[in-house]
Amino acid sequence: MQSEQPATRTAEHVLGVIVPAYNEERSIERVVRRVLQEPSVQQVVVVDDCSSDGTLEAARRCTDDPRVLVKHHEVNRGKGAAVRTGLEAITAPLVIIQDADLEYDPSDYNKLVSPILRGRADVVYGIRGFAGQSAYSYWFVVGNRVVTTATNILFNCYIQDMETGYKVMRTSLMRRLGLRGTRFDIEPEITGRIVRLGYRIYEVPIDYAARTRAQGKKLTWRDGIKALFVLMRIRLATDRSLFGERDPYHEERINQLTESLMARGAEKETPVGPTRDSP
């Protein structure tokens, strides 16, 4: 398979934004219009997961901007299924998932896409800062650290925030992951499959304003338990069961990134993740 050409160095119109939404009538239009203000955004795909409120109608009001596409699930299928539906419609070279609230600040898009555009990485994660956040309980923060630590142990890598919602990568790579998750299990699945393929993950700090459960936060401790099982399953699975036939693209691409890093010297963002032959 031929290797892809390096991405352009300009941060304008390179990013496809997937917005999975379920019962987010109060915030969805504000979120989409805020996302559209970022110069890096090429398209926004909103996926309404069979909301019971006015989420779909509110999202459709945003289609007055030609960059916005709205998809709808006839039955509730979960966040992971919504992400996969959105991914099918992405045509931009890079992709990110934006939750249908403003816990994550779209003004961070530029710093997230920058390492990819400079040829430093194909995957960049945003590191959340929990200090000063009153919305999350002590146990939620502990749970996040447990899942992140489990990821590092299982895959012999060093990631500081595995459950972050801001994960930017090449669209072609995300499609090659072969994602199957239908609900919140999509988050650990993305990370597990990326590190199994041998890619380094760059992490950069981002702004973060947590929501409370009363404000609509949907994650529970059960999702943390499921995340651990997903990570374990991916760690123990064979390459063939995860990815099918061996794809030489990954090894070629990882070698390109490694050569680029060696040629250009150390970068402020620290690369993390295993380096191994990819399937």
Question: Residue 152's CB: how many other CB atoms inside 10 A?
Answer: 16
Determine the Cα–Cα distance for residues 170 and 7; give it in Å rounded to an integer: 9
- Up-side HSE of residue 163: CA atoms within 13 Å toward CB? 26
> What pLDDT score does 200 carry?
87
**Residue 271: predicted pLDDT:** 59
CA gap 180, 195 in Å, rounded: 16
Residues 6+ away with beta carbon under 8 Å from 273 = 155, 157, 158, 159, 194, 195, 198, 199, 200, 201
Question: What domains appear along the chain, each with residue ranges and CATH number?
Answer: 15-272 (3.90.550.10)
pTM listed for this prediction: 0.84
pLDDT at residue number 266: 52
One-letter amino acid identity for 179?
A: L
Q: What is the mean pLDDT of each run of 10 residues along the chain (279 residues)?
A: 42 94 96 98 98 98 98 97 98 97 93 94 89 58 87 94 94 94 92 93 90 55 86 92 80 80 63 53
Tokens of 56: 């779909």
